[in-house]
Amino acid sequence: MKHKPIQPKERLQKLYGENYLIVNEFDPKMAAVCENGTFLGFRDGETLAFRGIPYAKPPIGALRWKKPVAPDPDDCVYTAFFNGKTPIQTEWPTEVASYYPQSEDCLYLNVWVNPSYKRKDRAVMVFFHGGSYGWGGTADPLYDGKNFVTEHPEIVLVTVGYRTGLMGFVDFSSVPGGDAFPDAPNLGLWDQIESLRWVQKNIRAFGGSPKRVTIFGESAGGGSVSLLPCIKEAKGLFRRVIAESGSVALTFSKEDCQSFTKRLMKEAKAGSMDDLLKLSEEDLKRINEKINAYNCFPQRDGILIPEDPYLPYAEGETADVDILIGTNANEINYWVGELGGIAAFRCGIPVRLENDLKVMKESGVKRARSFLKRKKGHQIWRMAEFYNELMFRLPAVRMAEEHKANGGNVYMYYWREPSTIRFRGACHAVELAYVFGNLDETIYTGKRADDEIARLVQDMWANFAKTGNPSVGRLKWPQYERRDRSTMVIGKRSYVKMSPLDWQRRLLYPLLDYRINPSYAEMDYNVPYIRGLATTAVLTLVAVVAAVGGLMRKL
């Protein structure tokens, strides 16, 4: 008899447990003595794993929607066997951590160490997950650090949970009493900063060096690690950055954030912050189900994040940080799955395009139209490539060019190895299984990831974290320079390419100044594409696009 495969929800819930206080004897070789407690890890293959270590006080009660607060000193001993809870979010198939128990109390991190490596100055890699700043969590098996640290015992790997969605990125400035919560628009970033402060204070207990910290992340995590070098409160907390498919462009203006606040107040039936603070955790989960698709990204508030998010790079404020940044060849194809199939994708992309063209001047529209005319292939894939450039590739290029021009070290990659899932290509998130070495986590790759490519990319990432140079053996990876735009193409055959897709860059680069909102949730359906369809088709299309349009924005 064939065994029924374990479903994601069942799989995640089987992993759940509660860490607890130890009052009996324990093996000190399995423990790490930190400022806020001694944490007992466990053998995980060849590694020693520590799960669910608190890096801040629980952001509940009086600390709801407040900046994270460092934990109190503690000399007690606790198990570190289980992940901390996932931040509040809607359950969703491609965000596997959403099936793990959720809570406001979610500020925990995990650490993996390979005991076979005896030096105490290991390089440290700290990972921030993606999920459109509204999803994701450390319980996702895709982010398990065991395989990476098994192959690279000279690395200490850390994965961090942070507040997302309505708990992590919400602007209360228009709400009575909201002036007491000025940090709420960017709490998820404040959480990340607090986790890095914890790492600086405690990572020696795991054999890591606080002077050799590399932060890395994908999608919203890639956006986070791109923003952190711009924030003065994060200065000195890390030395290097690896940004996968994310950049400073994944941000909102203050105006962009207001509709989410209005939706929150309406669904909560609240008139003030006092009303919101009275909500139970179960109330918040219920409300989140209604509004999660409209969640905000980090806010360009002019305080923590400048209104021009590229400005710190252009002014050399980030020059002391080494950066490795890149994107995948077919980022936007990820949303074929998020929308439920190719039919909905074909409906949604043209609507999104016409919405964005509305905000452009005639010169910008001409550039966009020229690109779509010149690019070969089916119309829908030409539009997808337009967004690959505008949302992902060109922001990464701009960051790299500004950083290099002002004295920073920067390396660029272009991921070509595709998923085997139909219509996906080298889509958003496809590289994650390779990076972590979790080759059997096939949610994005389709089939088991290629061992050789996985070894290569892990060696690249680890070498960069250790030395600031991602070159591997004879495969020399030159720094990105404006004059030749050296880029490492990663796939079954990896090689350096000069000025890839150069005509696309030159044609579309000026469109970055429009700061196109990465949200797909609030599109206007009164556009020529919709009006040009038959009445019956319009009714069907609007129903489909309205139902799933918001989910296209999950970066």
| Positions marked active-site | 219
Alpha-carbon distance of 183 to 166, in angstroms, equals 13
What secondary structure does DSSP assign to 311-322, as a single string?
Answer: HHHHTTTTTTSE
Read off the tokens for 143: 């982010």
Say which residues have a Cβ less than 8 Å from residue 443's Cβ, sequence separation at least 6: 94, 96, 142
Task: Give the angle 189-386-136 at the CA atoms, nearest 5°.
Answer: 30
Closest CA to 130 of 8, 222, 248: 222
Dihedral sign computed on CA atoms, order 386, 230, 84, 550: negative
If DSSP codes are grouped into helix, strand and coil, which group holds residue 498? coil
Read off the tokens for 150: 């098994």
Read off the tokens for 85: 């809870």
Read off the tokens for 51: 């799960």
Q: Give 333's Cβ-side CA count (13 Å radius).
A: 20
What's phi and psi for 342, nearest 5 deg? Answer: -65, -30
* Cα dihedral 367, 310, 300, 510 in deg (nearest 10): -10
Cross-strand pairs, 299: 252
| CA distances for 258 relative to 11, 198, 265, 294, angstroms | 37, 33, 11, 11
Alpha-carbon distance of 322 to 329, in angstroms, equals 23
Q: Is 376 exposed, middle or buried (0-12, 13-18, 19+ CB in 10 A)?
A: exposed
Alpha-carbon distance of 281 to 346, in angstroms, equals 38
What secondary structure does DSSP assign to 395-449, as a single string?
Answer: HHHHHHHHHHHTT--EEEEEE-PPPSSTTTSS-TTTTHHHHHT-TT--TTTSSPP
- Are 132 and 553 spatial neighbours (Cβ–Cβ below 8 Å)? yes
DSSP letter assigned to residue 392 = I
What's phi and psi for 152, nearest 5 deg? Answer: -130, 75
Alpha-carbon distance of 113 to 122, in angstroms, equals 10
- Are 137 and 129 spatial neighbours (Cβ–Cβ below 8 Å)? yes
Read off the tokens for 223: 């956006």
Range list of β-strands (E), 92-154: 108-113, 122-128
Residue matched to tokens 């050789």? 452
